[in-house]
Amino acid sequence: MSERIIIKGGRQLKGEVSIGGAKNAVLKLMAAALLLDDICEIHNVPELSDVQTMIEVINHLGVKTEYKPSEKSLIINAKHITNYEACYELVSKMRASFIVLGALLGRCKEARVALPGGCAIGERRIDLHIKGLEALGAQVKIEGGYVVAKATKLVGAEIHLDRPSVGATENLMLAAVLAEGSSIINNAAQEPEIVDLANFLNSIGADISGAGTSEIVINGVKQKDLHSTVYTTVPDRIEAGTYIAAIVATRGHAIVRNVFPNHLSSVLSKLTEMGATTTIIDPFSIEVNCVNRTRAADMVTQPYPGFPTDLQSPFMSIMAVSKGISIVTESIYENRFRHVGELRRMGADIQQEGNHAIIKGVKFLTGTQVKASDLRAGAALIVASLCANGTCEIENLHHIDRGYEILEHKLSMLGANITRVVDDVSGVDAHIQSNSPISQSYEV
């Protein structure tokens, strides 16, 4: 069986949309729960296939979980960890699961985690993870496709990252929580998800300061100092940015709710430059309005607080129909232009030169059949299809389902003409209403 999304483009998006919990935050909170010899409850957990994968990863370690779809809450009981190995079968599904390395090492003083391997959007090395863990006193080796780490004890250290890696920052934070003494991570990643992880860890009894800056200090605590917590994860800034891009691309007018506007400062600034209007109407809501065709603008992806690489793809869909020539420079991942070929199939005029994409805006895109090559490339095709003339069919939806919760429902509520269909073995199209991998179907 295969699934595809059919979008009849050309409709302005209007109304309101509410953003779910941050995928890139909640996955790390789930790993952090491994440090806790107790039960914790996380709220605002999105219904995504990546969340289901992480549940499988920690269940494999002996952790008990209970997800409550109606409440968007996840209860994690990590009192008994019975396995120190995160196997390749699970880690290969989602690179973010590699983050259990730091938590297992911190609590159990040993871990065996599969190397995540390559990724469609580019290389993501683990050298900084290993060097940092070794600085804390771990013995780390790679054997048989696994990272094997052991330590009699972990001792605080000052660690300087060669680059502000999000994953390395998170893994080292987790390992340092139960280390003896204080640790300092210099040139740390500053993303909001790092801050959320630190806030969660502090809520269970850790002692962390400086998250959100380039220097994070972790004062080690004892296992007995950690305790249960109930915690609500932050809204997903990338989901919010994608819906904002869709509203602008369709020249719509809508309100995006349950969002932290300060997490999107670089995005809102770029939209202003392109001629769209964004207004913060309350601490958790942004009004988005775009009356005229947007103007071209240049963009360089950078670590936070710069323009996020995860929104480069959907914003290129806006640039494809903007007036003038835009230049996009992708400085984070070398293969994050895989959506370019599919946008060209829709009539976009894009030339790629290394890590630069030169986009000459056309008046309109045309609907056709396209395939998502990764999560954010899929988001780009959704945005492009919504503003295109005619009908688009998007395949490879498993990529999109990794990061966008009840996508068709939310877009339908904004006025989009969007349907998900499943092709059964007999070749008959059956319409379905839910893209949720861990909940029952909903009704619009």
Intervals of CATH 3.65.10.10 along the chain: 2-20+235-432, 23-223
Q: Looking at 40, 87, 108, 119, which residue is catalytic?
A: 119
pLDDT at 286: 98
CA nearest to 290, candidates 259, 261, 268: 268
Q: How far is CA 365 from CA 10, 212, 317, 318, 381, in A?
A: 10, 39, 9, 10, 11
Q: Which fold has domain 2-20+235-432?
A: UDP-n-acetylglucosamine1-carboxyvinyl-transferase; Chain (3.65.10)
Would the pLDDT of 434 be above 90?
Answer: no
User: Helix, strand, or coil here: 27?
Assistant: helix
Q: How far apart are CA 146 and CA 396, in angstroms?
A: 29
pLDDT in tens, 287-339: 999 999 999 999 999 999 999 999 999 999 999 999 999 999 999 987 789 99
Q: How far apart are CA 435 and CA 418, in angstroms?
A: 13
Q: The dihedral of CA 196, 197, 198, 200: what is its sign?
A: positive
pLDDT at 433: 44
pLDDT in tens, 134-170: 999 999 999 998 999 999 999 999 999 999 999 999 9
Neighbouring residues of 14: CB distance < 8 A, sequence distance ≥ 6:
252, 253, 254, 414, 415
Instruction: Look up 119 and say whether it is catalytic.
Output: yes
Q: How far apart are CA 187 and CA 134, in angstroms?
A: 18
CA nearest to 140, candidates 160, 107, 113: 113
Backbone angles phi, psi at 113, to 5 degrees: -125, 130
pLDDT at 335: 77
Q: How far is CA 161 from CA 212, 218, 256, in A?
A: 15, 15, 36
Superfamily of domain 23-223: Enolpyruvate transferase domain (3.65.10.10)
At 1, the pLDDT band (50, 70, 90 cuts) reads confident
Q: Are 436 and 405 in contact (CB under 8 A)?
A: yes
pTM recorded for the entire structure: 0.94
Q: How far apart are CA 252 and CA 190, in angstroms?
A: 32
